[in-house]
Chain A
C-alpha cells in the first residue's frame, strides 16, 4: 500500500455567523489520502466537502486539528496544492495562454519556458488554436479545460477539485470526465474531487468517501473496484449498480437527516 500524502487528523471547522450563531461545518474529521489516489468526496449540500478543500488549500485555518501534506502541517495558502473551482475563476483579462502561464509566471520562470509549458498543457486539454482567446469568448466546457491546463502548468503535488463539472451540461460533463481520467492516468497526481453526483464519483474515483451532513464527518469509505479504463458502459455492469446502491444508501440517510434538521429548525423559528 502506498504512503499517505494527505492526513487530516481530527479536524474541526466552526464558522461564526453573527455574534451567537455558529455553524460546525466539520467535526473531528479524520481522513487519509494515499499517493496518486483519485478520491471523491460525496455528500449532500452543507456536509463540509468544500470546507475541507479550502482547508487543504490553506484558504481557511482549521478551528481544531491539523491537516498534514507529506507530513508537514498546512498553515496558510498551500503552495503544494492546486485548486479548480466550480466557477472556473479564470482571469478574464488574460488570454487562454496567459491564464495557463500564470502559475509558471508566479514561479518567475523565464518567458520562453513559460510559453513551452503553456503550449504543452493547452495541447493536452485539446485547446490548441485557442491560445489567444479570452475566457469570455469560450464555452463553459472550454473554460473548465483552461482551468485544468492552468492547474497542470502550475505543477502542484495535489489537485483539489470543487465540483468542477457541476455547471456543465450532461454531455460536456461526460467528455470532461473522460479527459480528467486520461489526465490523471498520465500525471498520476493525487486528486481530491468533490461532487454530489454519485455517477460522477463512480466513473472517476479509486475511492469514494461519503460525508455526513452538518457537522461533516466521514460516514463511509468505499473502494471503487470497477475495472479501468472505465467507459460509460461500465454503468451497465452489476457491480456498478451494487456500488451505487451502497453509496446511495449512505447518502440518502444523510440527506433525509439534513432535511429533517432544517425543517425542524424552521419550525422552531
Chain B
C-alpha cells in the first residue's frame, strides 16, 4: 500500500529516522524514571519504580484481569462512540447543508455542548442504573454534541467552487451531496471523530471511577483506594497503549477510505 509511489528511498530513511528519535525519547524517559526511583531521589510513595509497575502488570496480565478491564472499557467506548457517530454523521450533514434545520437545532446544540460528560452522571444513573446502558449513555452524551459540530463544520467547509463545478457538469442536488459534499467533508469528519474517540475514553474512565466494578477507570480507582500507585500506573499505561492501538487502526481505515489524501499526507510528513 505504501511505497507504491515512493519517490526515492530517502523518504523511507526519513521515516525510520523519526521512528528512531521517537524510540530514543521513550528510552530516555524510562531511564530517567528508573534513575530517580532507584537512586531514592523520589520516594516510592510518590512515584513507584518501573520494576514495581512491571511487576503489577505481570500479575494482572497473568490472571487475565488486566485484559478483561481493557476489553470492558473498550467495549463501552466503542458502543457509546459508534452510537453517537451513527446519529451525529447523518444529522450533521443535514444540518450542514440545510439552513432551516440548522436554525432549528442550533439553540439545542449550544445548550448541550458545554455540559461536561461528568455532569450527566447523576441523571444517567437515575435513568439507566449503574449497568452498561449508563456507560453507553455517558459516552453518547459526552461525545455526541462535539461529533455533530465537527460533522457540520466539515460539511460547510466544502469548497463552494467544487459545488459550482459539479453543477456546471450537470450534477443535481442529490448528485452534489453524494459526489461532492460527502467525500469533501469526509476527511474533516474522520479527524473530528478521532478527537471524539479520545473524548469517549475520558467519558468512560470518569464514569467507571464513579460507578463500576470493571473497566480501567474502576481499576485505577480501586488501586487508589488500596494505595497501590504501581497498579494505578498500570491502568494509566494500559489506557495509553489501548488508545495508541485504536489510533493506528483508525489510520489504516483512513488510508483505505481517503486514498486521495494518502499522497498528501505522505508529502506533509
Query: Which residues in A have some Cβ–Cβ distance to B below 8 Å?
Result: 57, 59, 77, 79, 81-83, 85, 87, 89-94, 102-103, 106-107, 134-137, 150, 154
Contacts and interface: CB of A to CB of B under 8 A. Distances in A.
Contacts of B162: 89, 91
Given A89-B161, A91-B166, 8 more contacts: A83-B164, A83-B168, A89-B159, A91-B183, A102-B169, A102-B179, A135-B260, A136-B260
A89 B260 contact: no
Given A93-B184, A136-B260, A136-B264, A103 B170 contact: yes
A36 B175 CA distance: 31
A93 B260 contact: yes
A150 B170 CA distance: 12
Contacts of A107: 170
A57 to B, nearest CB: 6
Given A82-B168, A102-B179, A92 B161 contact: no
Interface string B155-199: 000010110111111111001000110011010000000000000
B256 interface: no
Kindly list the 7 A-B residue pairs having the minimum CB-CB distance in the complex, ordered from nearest: A106-B170, A89-B165, A93-B183, A134-B260, A103-B169, A93-B260, A83-B168
A238 B5 CA distance: 50
B164 A89 contact: yes
Contacts of B58: none
B175 A134 contact: no
A102 to B, nearest CB: 5
Contact of B161 (A82, A85, A102, A154): A85
Contact of B169 (A93, A106, A134, A135): A106
Contacts of B165: 83, 85, 89-91
Contact of A91 (B168, B179, B186): B179
B263 interface: yes
Given A92-B260, A136-B264, A137-B5, A106 B161 contact: no
6 contacts: A59-B164, A90-B165, A102-B171, A107-B170, A134-B260, A137-B5
Interface of B: 5, 159, 161-162, 164-172, 175, 179-180, 183-184, 186, 258-260, 263-264
A102 B180 CA distance: 11
Contacts of A85: 161, 164-165
Given A89-B161, A91-B179, A91-B183, A77 B263 contact: no
Given A57-B168, A89-B165, A137 B179 contact: no
Contacts of A102: 166, 169, 171, 179
Contact of B263 (A57, A59, A134): A134
A77 B168 contact: yes
Nearest to A102: B169
Contacts of B170: 79, 103, 106-107, 154
Nearest to A77: B167
A92 B161 CA distance: 12
B112 to A, nearest CB: 32
B161 A136 contact: no
B264 A82 contact: no
Report which residue of A81, A93, A154 has the largest number of chain B beta carbons within 10 angstroms of its beta carbon: A93
Contacts of A136: 260, 263-264
A87 B161 CA distance: 9
Nearest to A81: B168
Contacts of A79: 170
Contacts of B172: 106
